[in-house]
Amino acid sequence: MKIVGLTGGIGSGKTTVAKMFAEQGVPIYIADERAREVMDRSDIVKRVSELFEESVVVEGKLDRKKIRTLVFADKERLERLNQIVHPEVKADFERFKQEHAEAGFVIKESAILFEQGLDKECDYTILVTAPEQIRIDRVKHRDNVSEYNIRQIINNQWNDMRKKPLSDYIIENIDRDLTKKQVIDIVNDINFKNSLI
């Protein structure tokens, strides 16, 4: 089974694109969503809450909006949060791989695939792109957060210029129909490469 990493900056449309792969029958692993589940566990709630002087727990759950404003303004704190969450997500992905051992390939979607060196564990990588202002407008609309907050997150991610040379495929996600066509081409290309092995 091949592992295909799918990444892109905030609001590029990674999750939207991953779901298009799922429509083509490809198993998808969405790291953000799995990280959310991991962070609901009481042992993780406790460890994460210890990173902050102020309370970040509401009714036994982590207050994600509050943590979001705290960590993206403080690289050291973000790194410590990453150190708690990422090993758990890694273990969770190992289980996912075992569940889908029969698949020709699976998609692993992560916002920070290259930043965390996870591309080294992938057979191919796909980068999803869109102009920055479009990405910001999408996220403002989706999450109801300020442009300032979104720009803080962008500052904690690599820019596309750095990611493009490392990517095997690049999907420009502006028009949904054109994006879907690119997804189908990539599925065919990877299946073809797999058939040669």
Ligand X SMILES: Nc1ncnc2c1ncn2[C@@H]1O[C@H](COP(=O)(O)OP(=O)(O)OP(=O)(O)O)[C@@H](O)[C@H]1O
Ligand Y SMILES: CC(C)(COP(=O)(O)OP(=O)(O)OC[C@H]1O[C@@H](n2cnc3c(N)ncnc32)[C@H](O)[C@@H]1O)[C@@H](O)C(=O)NCCC(=O)NCCS
- Which residues of this chain interact with ligand Y, rule CB under 6 A? 10, 31-32, 35, 39, 64-65, 67-68, 71, 78, 81-82, 85-86, 89, 110-112, 153, 156-157
Minimum Å distance from CB 64 to ligand Y?
A: 4
Nearer to ligand Y, 2 or 68 (CB): 68
Q: Which of 118, 69, 71, 76 is closest to 93 using CA atoms?
A: 118
Residues 102-121 that bind ligand X (CB under 6 A): 111
Task: Specify whether the CB–CB gap between 140 and 133 falls below 8 A.
Answer: no
Q: Is 142 in the site for ligand X (CB under 6 A)?
A: yes
**Residue 157 interaction partner, one of ligand Y, ligand X, none, beta carbon < 5-8 Å per kind:** ligand Y
Report whether 13 belongs to an annotated binding site: yes
Q: Which stretch binds ligand X (CB under 6 A): 3-11, 70-78, 88-96, 186-194?
A: 3-11
Q: What residue 15 binds from ligand Y, ligand X, none (CB within 5 to 8 A, per partner kind)? A: ligand X
Give the one residue of 3, 4, 6, 14 binding ligand X; rule: CB under 6 A. 14
Q: Which is nearer to ligand X, 16 or 82 (CB)?
A: 16
Q: Choose among 101, 123, 99: nearest CA to 34.
A: 99
- 46 touches ligand X (CB under 6 A): no
Q: Which option in ligand X, ligand Y, none does residue 12 bind, with CB closer than 5 to 8 A by kind?
A: ligand X
Of residues 155 and 188, the one with the C-beta less far from ligand Y? 155
Residues annotated in a binding site = 11-16
